[in-house]
Structure 1
Amino acid sequence: MRRFFLLMPLAVLLAALVMLLATEYVAARPSRRAKDLAYVPASAPDFDQERHVLDVYSPKKAGPHTGGYPVVLFIHGGSWTSGSKNIYTFIGRRLAKQGVVAVVINYRLAPAVHVPEQAADCARALAWTVQNIARHGGDPARIFVMGHSAGGGLAALLATDDELLARHGLPQNPVRGAIMDDPAGLDMYSYLKEMKYAGDQQYLVPFGTDPAVWKAQSAIYKIKAGMPPFQFFIGGETYPSISGSSGRFRDRLKAIGQPAPYTVIAGRHHIPMVLQLYWQHNIIYRELLKMVGA
């Protein structure tokens, strides 16, 4: 990539940057952003002023007369050890432009915490959304979750783990649907038991060494009747572990009579599966808008 930019004429590079900035400005105009809102009280003993915050992106024009706009809570990836909501402003802007209130969150990262604490952070962000999203034009009765990579695994836990939500102020699961963008971590129990890929030891940093924790943080073992609907978007060139666990998740949903739309996007590897959300009219947005009723 570096060589590519070095070979580009300076004028062409500047023109490309100007076009990208102009595109982002046009996308931003129909939306407003409320930035760095704390979803954990500052008085909480574990409060992290950098990680316990979220951004809300709302359409500027008035919403529906009743209820408000549908809401999508987006959880970033990064192998449970990296990532930031600030990288994904384009997702918030694109969703708001299309009549959706977007909530893009941070959560604490390993090694400072482990996945159970990260899932708890996501549940706290969801509880904040239920309690506060109406003032940003969103409908608290129409909240959906979405995640890429590790964020997909965390989003799946929000849709399936009612006990997790109950521990954080949500006696009823408010999630109305889950959008999985090349999700990782749906079945870390099987993955970490096998340890068949080079570098798999790195995932013991966020998940620890206890197989009971691996299973407890794997949404595939929480599938049950009455869950919200799932939608899968899988890269045709993604990692076998992601396509394999996503396929098994879909099959378990089918076994309880809950079909899950499963779209394989040819030629896409793992990272491009989230980068394509820069473009408003890609297939993920098109299908998402149908699911949320935007």
Structure 2
Amino acid sequence: MRRFFLLTPVAVLLAAVVVVLATEYVVARPSTRTKDVAYVPASAPDFDKARHILDVYSPKKAAPNGKGYPVVLFIHGGSWTSGNKNIYTFIGRRLAKQGVVAVLINYRLAPPVHVPEQAADCARALAWTVQNIRQYGGDPQRVFVMGHSAGGGLAALLATDDALLAANGLPQNPVKGAIMDDPAGLDMYSYLKEMKYEGDAQYKVPFGNDPVVWKEMSAIHKIKPNLPPFIFYIGGETYPSISGSAGRFRDRLKATGQAPAYTIIPGRHHIPMVLQLYWQHNVIYQGLLKLVEAE
């Protein structure tokens, strides 16, 4: 009997692994993953073979409208110093299963680069997407951006900073909407000026010491009329800096007549805000599918 109780946790763990793998197999069947596509030419002087790459997840069936599926470009978080698209394969699979072409990108990390270079990488990935996504079943006229944590701040820059895009191959901003999943870095100018939390100095590694750069990389200072629609999902138990800056961003959008959809998920902490995207029918996917008008 004692031997049975010792083995039971192992058996339960193995059973859970089998269930997860089986679920991923079922989810993967309706989609195709094209892995490690370079979005920067290998001849570019700053080309990074590990970071200037992306994955595309496409539904296997052609879009019923003949124009292609809506496209969501997802940017991972990691405090601007860590993270990898390969951690988030479940997001690509879930989106493709629901009639969305998903583009998951890597970008260079700090150090040695800083956030302006990371934002430029994201803009280059967006340019690649607009120019190439049709061959993966996507509609280049329906491209949306999405990000969690630091990736949310970078996605917000793509939706608001036309000059950033123009400098990286996009004379017109193609972003049709932005999905903010517990975004960080929306107002790093105020954050780094205040420095009121323990450990805040670590964020000068990616952002540097120049307040001009802090402001330039803060999407809240780029809010203007006629932006694409934003939808926000904020964890009820997330970091105060995230809830505070997201609330201020929302209020500035409201002041320009562009009030975003804004949902606070009670009890949810920062990391679970992205982990919940493992489940296909969670509230974030529901709002996303409505925004992109998936069929």
Common fold by TM > 0.5? yes
Matches within 5 A, 1:18-167: 18-167=18-167
Match of 1:12 in 2: 12
Distance in 2, matches of 1:8 and 1:176, equals 51
The one-letter code sitting in structure 2 at the alignment partner of 1:31 is S
3-state SS of the aligned residue for 1:71?
A: strand
Distance in 1, matches of 2:126 and 2:8, equals 44
The one-letter code sitting in structure 2 at the alignment partner of 1:98 is Q
Distance in 1, matches of 2:7 and 2:110, equals 38
Q: Go from structure 1 to structure 2 and tell me whether the alpha carbon gap of 1:132 and 1:7 turns closer, same or farther (over 3 Å shift).
A: same
Distance in 2, matches of 1:136 and 1:71, equals 10
Distance in 1, matches of 2:203 and 2:284, equals 28
The one-letter code sitting in structure 2 at the alignment partner of 1:133 is I
3-state SS of the aligned residue for 2:36?
A: strand
After TM superposition, the score normalised by the length of structure 2 is 0.97
Distance in 2, matches of 1:119 and 1:67, equals 29
Deviation at 1:30, TM superposition (A): 0.5
Q: Go from structure 1 to structure 2 and tell me whether the alpha carbon gap of 1:7 and 1:264 turns closer, same or farther (over 3 Å shift).
A: farther
Q: Go from structure 1 to structure 2 and tell me whether the alpha carbon gap of 1:7 and 1:108 turns closer, same or farther (over 3 Å shift).
A: farther
Structure 1 gap segments, 5+ residues each: 1-5
Residue identity over aligned pairs, in percent, reads 82
Matches within 5 A, 1:177-216: 177-216=177-216
Deviations 1:142-188 (A, max 9, x none): 00000000000000000000000000110100000000000000000
Deviation at 1:112, TM superposition (A): 1.4
Distance in 1, matches of 2:112 and 2:27, equals 35
Name which of structure 1's ranges 138-147 and 8-17 shifts more when overlaid on structure 2. Answer: 8-17
After TM superposition, the score normalised by the length of structure 1 is 0.97
Distance in 2, matches of 1:8 and 1:24, equals 24
Deviation at 1:8, TM superposition (A): 6.5
Deviation at 1:62, TM superposition (A): 1.4
Deviations 1:22-44 (A, max 9, x none): 11111101100000000000000
Deviations 1:14-60 (A, max 9, x none): 00010011111111011000000000000000000000000000001
Distance in 1, matches of 2:52 and 2:99, equals 26
Match of 2:263 in 1: 263
Structure 2 gap segments, 5+ residues each: 1-5
Distance in 1, matches of 2:276 and 2:169, equals 34
Deviation at 1:7, TM superposition (A): 9.6
Matches within 5 A, 1:226-245: 226-245=226-245
RMSD of aligned alpha carbons:
1.0
Distance in 2, matches of 1:15 and 1:196, equals 46
3-state SS of the aligned residue for 2:37?
A: strand
Distance in 1, matches of 2:31 and 2:139, equals 17
Distance in 1, matches of 2:271 and 2:287, equals 20
Distance in 2, matches of 1:279 and 1:50, equals 28
Distance in 2, matches of 1:207 and 1:201, equals 10
The one-letter code sitting in structure 2 at the alignment partner of 1:240 is P
The reply to whether residue 276 of structure 1 matches residue 252 of structure 2 is no
The one-letter code sitting in structure 1 at the alignment partner of 2:36 is D
3-state SS of the aligned residue for 2:21?
A: helix
Deviation at 1:67, TM superposition (A): 1.7
Q: Go from structure 1 to structure 2 and tell me whether the alpha carbon gap of 1:239 and 1:7 turns closer, same or farther (over 3 Å shift).
A: farther
Deviation at 1:9, TM superposition (A): 1.3
Distance in 2, matches of 1:278 and 1:8, equals 26
